[in-house]
């Protein structure tokens, strides 16, 4: 199995996207769990990359991750343009299901952190029904604001009591990336994985785009149709700007450096 630290990263506007696919991601996660290598995994597409353009700390968080997976097809296309043939989409909801299925045999334990009230317990129930024998040792619904010192200590204590192998974090980008970077070393878990809307997809609160739309690169249009009020700014402003900046990077009109 490849050492995760040797995975190449493709430079997408200064964000290093790991040149991996679902199989390689699963192997890297399994290796980290066996070796107890603490870290966090970002699942990133155009939205995350564009948020990092105006936030240097967020860009550093992406670039210091254990993995920053190519969640969107533009990340995959950038990798293939750079000659990294093994890269393919590592979609957060798919990664979550794959790791849960794999961990039944391996005995790895999970903790669900995120979603609105009631979502994480519902996700626990559904995953346990789908994967009999899966060990989900707890859930936590964080407030829509930074944790107070008392809440921090409560969360650290809760995690310390059950010591999960993986904490799945579903509180949207860029909040989940900042959360993982802040707490990865303070929580008694090996890996934190930010999967955004996976909590809502897997509990049926949001519709997932059909696979052919996901492969086409137009999933953003499907999601915009499902949630226009929440997502119009993200897609209608960010996407054209991403294309413009990508053109400047490809033509070397502007250089973007990885740390």
Query: For residue 251, what are the contacts with CB-CB under 8 A and spacing of at least 6?
Result: none
Q: Does 65 reside within a domain?
A: yes
Indicate whether 145 belongs to any domain. Answer: yes
Report the Cα–Cα distance between both ends of the chain, in Å, rounded. 26
> For residue 220, what pLDDT is reported?
67
Nearest 5°: the CA angle 189, 191, 197 is: 115
The CATH number of whichever domain residue 20 belongs to comes to 3.40.50.10700
Positive or negative, the CA dihedral 44, 81, 84, 22 is positive
Q: Rounded CA gap, 122 and 247, in Å?
A: 43
Q: Please list the ranges in the chain whose pLDDT falls under 50.
A: 1-5
pLDDT at 3: 42
pLDDT tens string 145-183 = 889 999 999 999 999 999 999 999 999 889 999 999 999
- Whole-number pLDDT of residue 6: 63
Domain span including residue 24: 8-202
Is residue 173, in this structure, part of any structural domain at all?
Answer: yes
Q: From CA 184, how far away is CA 257, in angstroms rounded?
A: 25
Q: Is residue 24 part of a domain?
A: yes
Q: For residue 242, is it within any domain?
A: no
SS (H, E, C) the chain: CCCHHHCCEEEECCEEEECCCHHHHHHHHHHHHHHCCCEEEEEECHHHHHHHHCCHHHHHHHHCCCEEEECCHHHHHHHHHCCCCCCCCCCHHHHHHHHHHHHHHHCCEEEEEECCCCHHHHHHHHHHHHCCCCEEEEEECCCCCCCCHHHHHHHHHHHHHHCCCEEEEECCCCHHHHHHHHHCCCCCCCEEEECCCHHHHHCCCCCCCCHHHHHHCCHHHHHHHHCHHHHHHHHHHHHHHHHHHHHHHHCCCCCCCCC
pLDDT of residue 52: 96
The answer to whether residue 218 is domain-embedded is: no
- With respect to residue 54, please indicate whether it lies within any of the assigned structural domains: yes
pLDDT value for 62 = 97
Query: Number of folded domains in the chain?
Result: 1
- Cα angle: 94, vertex 96, 98; to 5 degrees: 70
The predicted structure's pLDDT at residue 134:
97
Residue 133 maps to a domain? yes
What is the reported pLDDT for 181?
Answer: 97
pLDDT value of residue 4:
43
């Amino acid at each position: 199995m490849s050492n995760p630290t040797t995975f190449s990263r493709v430079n997408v506007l200064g964000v290093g996207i790991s040149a991996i696919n679902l199989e390689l991601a699963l192997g890297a996660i399994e290796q980290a769990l066996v070796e107890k290598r603490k870290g966090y995994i970002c699942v990133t597409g155009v939205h995350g990359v564009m948020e990092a353009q105006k936030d240097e700390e967020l860009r550093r968080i992406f670039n210091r991750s254990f993995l920053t997976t190519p969640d969107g097809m533009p990340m995959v296309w950038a990798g293939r343009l750079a000659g990294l043939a093994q890269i393919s989409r590592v979609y957060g909801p798919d990664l979550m299901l794959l790791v849960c299925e794999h961990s039944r045999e391996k005995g790895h334990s999970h903790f669900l952190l995120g979603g609105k009230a009631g979502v994480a317990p519902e996700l626990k129930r559904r995953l346990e029904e789908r994967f009999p024998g899966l060990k989900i040792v707890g859930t936590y619904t964080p407030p829509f604001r930074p944790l107070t010192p008392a809440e921090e200590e409560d969360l650290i204590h809760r995690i310390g009591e059950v010591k999960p192998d993986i904490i799945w974090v579903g509180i949207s980008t860029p909040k989940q990336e900042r959360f993982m970077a802040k707490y990865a070393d303070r929580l008694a878990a090996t890996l934190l994985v930010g999967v955004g809307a996976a909590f809502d997809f897997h509990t049926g609160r949001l519709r997932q785009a059909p696979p052919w739309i996901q492969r086409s690169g137009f999933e953003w249009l499907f999601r915009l149709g499902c949630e226009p009020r929440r997502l119009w700014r993200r897609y209608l402003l960010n996407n054209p700007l991403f294309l413009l900046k990508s053109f400047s990077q490809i033509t070397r009109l502007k250089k973007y450096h990885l740390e």
